[in-house]
Chains A and B, each alone.
Chain A
Amino acid sequence: MERIPILRMGKVLLVTIQVDMHDQLAVTLQDDLTARIVETGARGVLIDISSLEVVDSFIGRILGNIATMARVLDAQTVVVGMQPAVAITLVELGMSLPGVRTALNVEKGMALLQASIKADEAEPEVLDASLED
């Protein structure tokens, strides 16, 4: 069966969508990603959609679902590389991808993820310390 590869880079799972996704492939990616987050204990998911020429409401919904599911599994999602024409079309279509964080490119997305993973991991210690006071 056709699948979109998921690469692991430290605490981050990296997905680069390079094909015109049919609906079943998008659903498979959603399932595979959630399974991999649990397997690897990943804290972040980076989805590069720079090769995607079309993001319709179905793909938009899948991206939103992935971000929400990842959040429930204690991982953060950043979608990067959206083409300008795709952004214009998405907004006109009426979608704003609520709950999905975005960055301009992979480099900025990775920096954003790493900073928020770090902040996330620092948080419990701060909480513990304030409890002891």
Chain B
Amino acid sequence: MQVLRTEVMPIRSSQDLVVVRQAVRTWSAELKFSLVEQTKMVTAASELARNTLDYGKGGQVTLQVLQDGLRKGLRLSFEDQGPGIPDIELALRDGYTTGGGMGLGLGGAKRLVNEFDIVSKVGEGTRVTVTRWK
């Protein structure tokens, strides 16, 4: 698998969420994702970026265009150095929230992408990686 393009963007404020959404939209469109695929990817990015901001106390996202044989994909990796998630299975469950949201962020984002990976260490931080293939 080849990485064709990489960009790192900060997630420090609610304004940064808008910038990240716009970048994911542009990259998805360049990969010729359908409008529904674009919207799913942008929405997943919005949920995960907000988690990075609200629970991780800020961090960054790495956008990557991947080439795997004939197919291309967009991978987003959200990283923070926040408190980490003690129970990932519980955090992925719909309706579970420690914040003020509806508890759809992680589980919902997982449903909107093709691949979903989460690594978290309590006291060290969290990394959520999602990929959507064309």
Who on chain B is nearest to A91 by CB?
Answer: B111
- Among B65-73, B80-88, B101-109, the one that faces the other chain is B101-109
Q: Measured between alpha carbons, how far is A85 from B22 in the docked complex, in Å?
A: 16
B102 A61 Cβ-Cβ under 8 A = yes
Residues of A within 8 A of B131 (CB): none
B14 A24 Cβ-Cβ under 8 A = yes
Report A19-46 residues with CB < 8 Å from chain B CB.
20-24
Who on chain B is nearest to A92 by CB?
Answer: B111
B47 A57 Cβ-Cβ under 8 A = yes
Q: Measured between alpha carbons, how far is A103 from B82 in the docked complex, in Å?
A: 41
Q: Measured between alpha carbons, how far is A58 from B97 in the docked complex, in Å?
A: 13
Whether A89 sits at the interface, judged by CB under 8 Å, is yes
Nearest Cβ in chain B — how far from A33, in angstroms? 19
Known: A53-B42, A57-B47, A57-B101. A23 touches B36 (CB 8 A): no
A54 B108 Cβ-Cβ under 8 A = no
Residues of A within 8 A of B115 (CB): none
Nearest Cβ in chain A — how far from B62, in angstroms? 20
B10-53 interface bits toward A, Cβ cutoff 8 Å, 1 = contact, 0 = none:
00001101100110010000000001101110110011001000
Majority DSSP secondary structure for residues of B touching A: helix
Whether A94 sits at the interface, judged by CB under 8 Å, is yes
A94 B94 Cβ-Cβ under 8 A = yes
Who on chain A is nearest to B108 by CB?
Answer: A93
Whether B63 sits at the interface, judged by CB under 8 Å, is no
Whether B112 sits at the interface, judged by CB under 8 Å, is yes
Residues of B within 8 A of A84 (CB): 36
B102 A57 Cβ-Cβ under 8 A = yes
Residues of B within 8 A of A23 (CB): 14, 17, 50
Residues of B within 8 A of A94 (CB): 94, 104, 107-108, 111
Listed A/B pairs (10) with beta-carbon separation below 8 Å: A20-B21, A54-B39, A54-B46, A56-B43, A56-B46, A58-B50, A84-B36, A89-B112, A92-B111, A92-B112
Give 8 closest A-B pairs by Cβ, nearest first.
Answer: A93-B108, A85-B39, A56-B46, A23-B14, A57-B104, A85-B36, A22-B14, A85-B35
